[in-house]
Amino acid sequence: MRLDQIKESTHPAIEALREEIHHQGLTYEDIARQAPMSLNHLKNLMSGRTRLRVEDRDAICRAMGVDPQDIFLQRKDYMENLHFIDIRHLPPDLQDAIRMIIGDLTLHTKLLEMHAKRRKRRAIKK
C-alpha cells in the first residue's frame, strides 16, 4: 500500500493525533516513552494498522500534555461542519471553564430536544 493510500484511509482522529505530535515537534519515540507503550504499538496505531482504543488515545494525549477533547475538536471531519475555536493557547483554568460551559450547553440542548419530542408525541396522540 502506498503512503498516499494509507493517509486517505486513516481515521480523522488518528490524523488529528499525528498533526498534534508534529505540531509539538515530538517523535513517536517521545510519545511511546511518555505514554508508556511500545514504539511498535504506537506506530501501528498511528498508521491505522491497529484500532485506536480510547485508552490508547488518552495515553497519547497525556504524553503530549493535551486534553483528548481538544484532539476530538481538531478532527477535520468535524471542523468542516462546525465552528471551531482553538483554545489551547488560553490558560488552563479558562480552557476548563469553556469545556464545562460547552458540556452544559450540550446537555441542555439534548434535554430540550427530548422535551420537544415528547410534546410532539403527545400532540399526535390527541
Calpha distance 64→56 (Å, rounded): 12
C-alpha span between 109 and 114 (Å, rounded): 9
Answer positive or negative: Cα dihedral of 19, 22, 24, 30.
positive
Please check the confidence at residue 21 and state whether its pLDDT lies above 90: yes
Sign of CA dihedral 49, 55, 58, 64: negative
Please give the grid coordinates belonging to residue 96.
476548563
**CATH number among 3.40.250.10, 1.20.120.530, 1.10.260.40, 1.20.1420.20, domain 1-86:** 1.10.260.40
Question: Does the pLDDT at position 69 exceed 60?
Answer: yes
Longest dimension (CA), the chain: 65
pLDDT in tens, 30-68: 999 999 999 999 999 999 999 999 999 999 999 999 988
CA-to-CA distance for 61 and 70, rounded, in angstroms? 9
Of the CA atoms within 13 Å of residue 92, those in its CB half-sphere come to 3
In which band, very low, low, confident or very high, does the pLDDT at 1 lie, cut at 50, 70 and 90?
Answer: very low
The pLDDT score that the predictor gives to residue 78 is 61
Spell out the domain ranges in the chain: 1-86, 90-126
- pTM for this predicted structure: 0.57
